[in-house]
Structure 1
Amino acid sequence: MYKIGDFSKITNLTVKALRYYDEENILNPSYRCEENSYRFYDDNDFKKAELIVLLRELNFSISEIKDVMNICEDKADLSYILEEKKDMVNKNIMEEKALLKKISLYIKPNLLEDDGVNYIIQVKDIPAIKVAAIRYKGKYSDCGKHMGRIYKAIKGDAKGEPFNCYYDGEYKEEADIETCVPISKQVYDSVVTIVELPQIRAVSTIHNGTYESINMAYKAIFDYAKGKNISCLTPSREIYIKGPGMIFKGNSKNYITEVIIPIELEV
């Protein structure tokens, strides 16, 4: 048995840390004296302490360490956990790189897209169209996986550019979205639905560039509609004339998207 001071020396964990781990039920001493509540640790506790030190070096959070200590029984278990942690780190790296790229746009003004783009606004009739669709509630970024699912189902029978219908009148964290691909013939699939979208009269404009700045196209349409006293309806559409591929995103500055917002028909 080791007193807490001695145990601190052989584990490189401070007495304060050992007391904290005891309080959090991460590393409890094997024996506690009833008279003075002194903590005593054994060789099994030493192995647990070694694991905790390793996890700290690998930047595991306290909650993660607690979870590991509860479910890890041998080296095989630890191997699975470390693989999961590696995936989490890689995901964080990708997110941080994307953030750095976005920050760079504001550090170097020449990389910014032109905020003064003059959008050409059109009022036109959009004909009825038959589409293979998946309607869902989720993040705006989820549409890619649903788009891929639709293309897999229709097996080359697409008849036009893919698009999304947005049924919410405002921005939402969990949006009501219908991902659509025009089709040339009937498709039978357990997930994909065949929908006949009706003819609509709409205000539209073309947005050139990244999806992060597509809000400016919506602003241009709303400003036009307000000036003409036109009532905008839902669902709005984004037709992806030129966008990312299924695997590679390509240069997002070259994306071309038509934004379409239905308007109330004149009586």
Structure 2
Amino acid sequence: MIRIGDFSKLSRVSVKTLRYYDEMGLLKPVSVDRFTGYRLYEYSQLAVLHRILALKELGFSLEEIGRLLDDGLSVEEMRGMLKLRETEARQRVQEEAERLRRVEAWLGQIEQENQMSKYDVVIKNVEAVKVASVRDVVPTPPDQGGLWGELEGYLAMHRVRSNAACFTLYHDEEYKERDWDLEVCEPITDELTESKRVKVRSLPAATMACAVHNGPFVTLNEAYAAIGKWMDANGYRIVGACREVYLKPAKNGSQTDPETVTEIQFPVEKA
């Protein structure tokens, strides 16, 4: 038998770690000298320690390693656990590669414009939401006020309140000078009877590229341009209707209220 200090030198594992493995029940000494308190190990235990270190390198927690050592898993069970670790490792590599692409895109933007962007585009997983809405074609986006008046009047008449920020869905697949297909939406939880004009439906959960615009509606095009540039640089494409979420609505629907706060959300997927 050899003392813990010598066992530490042979295994290249610190005495502190060996004591911790003892406390965890992973690698207990063969005996403990009752006079000196020294932990004593067998040379054959080096193989067990190497198995612990190898499993730790593969990402197993000490609790998992303890179960693996105690249960004496079959080859098939070990293969299954290693396959799971392989999948998890590949996922982490993909996530880090995606993070690297975003860093490179941000650096490229700074080098191209020689300044920080006003907009930080982020990917969000937006939950499904129940909405009451009115959809129609209007000459241009500033003309949607009538749709809002119609929707708000109907909700007030039925004593239904919104439970989150209202938003507009833009259904056109391309930019248009006139005749925009818009749907104004109020998130609700209450039951509401539909009318010929006011509809109730559930919008599905979606992955969104989002940016917040602080300022009047007349400068919203800057945020749209920033999101478009970000999607192109990061390899995303649009897969549905854009949302303008009115976090702090403009006073009286003004197009020039500088205190307005709007979040633009595009449903996206990797191109």
| Structure 2 equivalent of residue 240 of structure 1 | 246
| CA apart distance, 1:166 | 0.5
Output the amino acid matched with 2:246: Y
Question: Measured at CA, do residues 242 and 193 of structure 1 come closer, stay the same or move farther in structure 2, by a change above 3 Å?
Answer: same
Output the amino acid matched with 1:125: N
Contact in 2 for aligned 1:166/1:234 (Cα 8 Å): no
| CA apart distance, 1:205 | 0.5
SS of 2:237's partner is coil
Contact in 2 for aligned 1:132/1:195 (Cα 8 Å): yes
Contact in 1 for aligned 2:235/2:270 (Cα 8 Å): no
| Structure 1 equivalent of residue 142 of structure 2 | 141
| Identical aligned residues as a percent | 27
Write the distance in 2 (CA, Å) between the matches of 1:176 and 1:265: 26
| CA apart distance, 1:249 | 3.8
- Structure 2 residue corresponding to 1:224, chosen from 206, 225, 230: 230
- The reply to whether residue 158 of structure 1 matches residue 162 of structure 2 is yes
Output the amino acid matched with 2:174: E
Write the distance in 1 (CA, Å) between the matches of 2:170 and 2:253: 25
| Structure 2 equivalent of residue 256 of structure 1 | 261
CA deviation string 1:179-217 (max 9, x = no partner): 101012121242210011011101000001111110111
Provide the TM-score with structure 1 as the length reference.
0.53
| Structure 2 equivalent of residue 182 of structure 1 | 187
- Structure 1 residue corresponding to 2:172, chosen from 156, 163, 168: 168
| Structure 2 equivalent of residue 210 of structure 1 | 216
SS of 1:231's partner is strand
Contact in 2 for aligned 1:230/1:264 (Cα 8 Å): yes
SS of 2:191's partner is coil
| CA apart distance, 1:250 | 9.2
Count of residue pairs the alignment pairs up:
151
Provide the TM-score with structure 2 as the length reference.
0.52
Write the distance in 2 (CA, Å) between the matches of 1:202 and 1:175: 22
| CA apart distance, 1:244 | 2.5
| Structure 1 equivalent of residue 122 of structure 2 | 122
Question: Measured at CA, do residues 141 and 250 of structure 1 come closer, stay the same or move farther in structure 2, by a change above 3 Å?
Answer: closer
Write the distance in 1 (CA, Å) between the matches of 2:225 and 2:179: 21
- The reply to whether residue 196 of structure 1 matches residue 202 of structure 2 is yes
| CA apart distance, 1:233 | 2.4
Write the distance in 2 (CA, Å) between the matches of 1:166 and 1:248: 18
Write the distance in 2 (CA, Å) between the matches of 1:138 and 1:146: 9
Contact in 1 for aligned 2:167/2:184 (Cα 8 Å): yes
Extract structure 1 runs of 4+ deviating beyond 3 A.
247-251
Gaps of 5+ in 1: 1-114
Write the distance in 1 (CA, Å) between the matches of 2:205 and 2:192: 21
| CA apart distance, 1:251 | 6.4
| CA apart distance, 1:154 | 1.5
Output the amino acid matched with 1:195: R
Question: Measured at CA, do residues 200 and 147 of structure 1 come closer, stay the same or move farther in structure 2, by a change above 3 Å?
Answer: same
Larger Rg: 2
SS of 1:263's partner is strand
Q: How does 1:4-83 map to 2 (within 5 A)?
A: none
| Structure 2 equivalent of residue 7 of structure 1 | none
| Structure 2 equivalent of residue 22 of structure 1 | none
CA deviation string 1:114-146 (max 9, x = no partner): x98520111011110000001111221222111
Contact in 1 for aligned 2:216/2:255 (Cα 8 Å): no
Question: Measured at CA, do residues 206 and 248 of structure 1 come closer, stay the same or move farther in structure 2, by a change above 3 Å?
Answer: closer
CA deviation string 1:213-238 (max 9, x = no partner): 10111111111111111112220000
C-alpha RMSD over aligned residues? 2.2
Gaps of 5+ in 2: 1-114
| CA apart distance, 1:171 | 2.1
